[in-house]
Structure 1
Amino acid sequence: MADASHVRSRSDQGRRDRSWPDEPVPLAVPVYDNHTHLEVADGDDPLDLSTQLARAVAAGVRGVVQVGTDVATSIWSAELAAVDPRVLAAVAIHPNDAPELAAAGELDAAIETIAALASRPRVRGVGETGLDFFRTGEDGRDAQFAAFEAHIDIAKRSGTALQIHDRDAHDAVVETLLRVGAPEKTVFHCFSGDEDLARICAENGWYLSFAGTVSFSNAAGLRAALAVAPRELVLVETDAPYLTPTPFRGRPNAPYLIPYTLRSMAATLGVHEDELAADITANTERVYGSWDDGLDA
């Protein structure tokens, strides 16, 4: 079993309501959380892994993709996925960490570790990787591009999905994918684009994963993107413990809250939640395969 030595706590507790949101009415048709960070403890009373995953299953969340953002959390994610049937892993160096590692001469070694982890049976994604022009300035962009292209290569060589972090960098992300060739299964994690980006994704067969942000009152553009996205390319995620859906925005997030986001998406699309859940489940399994395969004995 993966130990909890890399579980992190957030430091912004106490400034607002940090209690856990109410448990939702369970989904009748189970889905998967495409992107979560179980290693980040949150809330006034942080939930342990067992409680987190048990609550998720009770809410109709059959499994999660646990996402690493550096070497330590990627190893932790891979080890957890190896022994827990509810968890698959994605591994990567986060784009905001790439410049610092490059400056220290450690980026190549870190990416080699990610490549080795990507060969494990229950590591089904490389990510989150991509470009972030919000937190990283011009001086760090060369390292971000180098890391992004290296991760794309790892995903293609390992046959795993690519999970993209794209913040204020839509054009550059698309240009990079088209220039070097996107992996067969490419996912825009926490999709943050508009209708134009949704159409580009549709043209290229790239998946759009929607988080709690799609339920925010000021997110009309995201809902418009969802409305034009082909249903067969839509996924759902928490990005927990961040981006908690309405009506609990600002409180801690966890996989058990997926039903709130999915129901918001179903309302936007004017479809029954069971229909949307069934489509998203099929899409997620097409991207990552079965949660039942590759477990350590």
Structure 2
Amino acid sequence: MSVSEAPTETESNKAARRRLRKQPPPDPTPLAGLIDAHTHLAACGGRDPESVRSIVDHAASVGVAAVVTVADDIVDARWAHRAAQWDERVYAAVAIHPTHAGELDDATRAEIETMAADDRVVAVGETGLDYYWIGKSESCATREQQYEAFAWHIDLAKRLGKPLMIHNRDADADLLDVLAAEGAPEAVIMHCFSGDRNVARECVDRGYLLSFSGTVTFANSTELRAAAELVPDDQLLVETDAPFLTPHPYRGQPNQSYCLPYTARHIARTRDVDEVELAAIVGANARRVYNIPLR
């Protein structure tokens, strides 16, 4: 613990921990060539052109050249779509999160479809299945509502020829079954991959891309690291999912796209490759799957 982090004479250890959780992590050593494959700019405070520019400027200062900001509901989709117009380094993905699937009425479908067709929107997502919140949250969509919404988003991605960005929580088998039954788009991104090595192998065999967040750095993530090790180079992405899932040793502190090099370096060590090589690989993959041009 540094001097600035140490409790004062009048501050309890509990208060010191609360204070630390509010502090952003320090800037990592720059690692050029990265793209944040999944973040939430609005939740990070990016709700106007100036704040978005500040976030992506900070990310660019450590080598993160572009970000894909992602929507959970229709309000968030509007924010993401706007943010992608405000800064050329920002791209968007729009969809209705599975926990909000009950909100996908005809008007919402029409609005999502219009936004998703925009050139600045590079993926349909995040969509999928989330069983964790069923029974825990009264507002969480039912399984049936989630299946229907997931199938609609799959069809939308195929009609638009854009990648499908997947949210999966506690639903491995059913999610893979739905993708097989509906027919997956050409590009499928398993956002914040959370499965074990067996699920990872199944996704790899199907040609899906696996995107790893700060969770891969956590001490209890042995299976995630095994998954990150087995993914072929051309199916690997790295993301922050900011403001959530800040990588170790800053877990619990605020996350932003500038923290991406921490996770990228951890994956490089896991795969026993040079960090510069790893950054080039995942950056190229993000540009390819999202059709992001070099600048």
Cα RMSD of the aligned pairs, angstroms, is 1.9
Please tell me whether residue 206 in structure 1 is matched to residue 205 in structure 2: no
Q: Normalising by structure 1, what TM-score?
A: 0.87
Give the CA deviation at 1:109. Answer: 2.2
Asked whether the 8 Å contact 2:58–2:258 carries over to 1, the reply is yes
The aligned runs of 1:202-241 (5 Å cut-off) are 202-241=204-243
C-alpha contact 2:44 2:242 (8 A) present in aligned 1? no
Displacement of 1:140 = 0.6
Q: Does 1:26 align with 2:26?
A: no
User: Are the equivalent residues in 2 in contact too, given 1:130–1:165 (CA < 8 A)?
Assistant: yes
Match of 1:144 in 2: 146
Unaligned runs of 5+ in 2: 1-16
- Work out the number of aligned pairs and report it: 271
Match of 2:123 among 122, 125, 130: 125
**TM-score when normalising by structure 2:** 0.88
Residues 95 and 130 in structure 1, CA contact (< 8 A), matched pair in contact too: yes
SS of equivalent residue, structure 1 residue 125? strand
Alpha-carbon distance, 1:83 to partner: 3.4
* Structure 1 position 81 matched with structure 2 position 84: yes
SS of residue matched to 1:98: helix
Task: Write the deviation string for residues 65-107 of structure 1: whole angstroms up to 9, x where unpaired.
Answer: 01011111112211221231111100011111113x2xxxx52
Q: Using the TM superposition, give the Cα deviation of residue 14 of structure 1 relative to its aligned residue in structure 2, in angstroms.
A: 5.2
Structure 1 regions of 5+ residues with no counterpart? 1-12
Give the secondary structure class of the aligned counterpart of 1:79. helix
**Partner Cα distance (1:26, 1:139) in 2:** 41
Structure 1 counterpart of 2:5: none
Equivalent residue, structure 2, for 1:261: 263
**How far apart are 1:292 and its partner, in Å?**
6.3
Aligned equivalents of 2:117, 2:78: Cα separation in 1: 12
* Alpha-carbon distance in structure 2 between the residues aligned to 1:41 and 1:264: 23
Q: CA deviation at 1:291?
A: 4.4
- Regions of 4+ moved over 3 Å: 13-16
Residue 136 (structure 1) shift: 2.0
Would the aligned equivalents of 1:130 and 1:166 in 2 still touch at CA under 8 Å? yes
Give 3-state SS (helix, strand or coil) of 2:30's partner.
coil
Matches within 5 A, 1:161-180: 161-180=163-182
Match of 2:132 in 1: 134
- What is aligned with 1:69? 72
The whole-number CA distance in structure 1 between the counterparts of 2:292 and 2:143 is: 36
Describe the shift of the 1:74–1:56 C-alpha distance in structure 2 as closer, same or farther (beyond 3 A). Answer: same
Q: Is the 8 A contact 2:99 2:141 kept in 1?
A: no
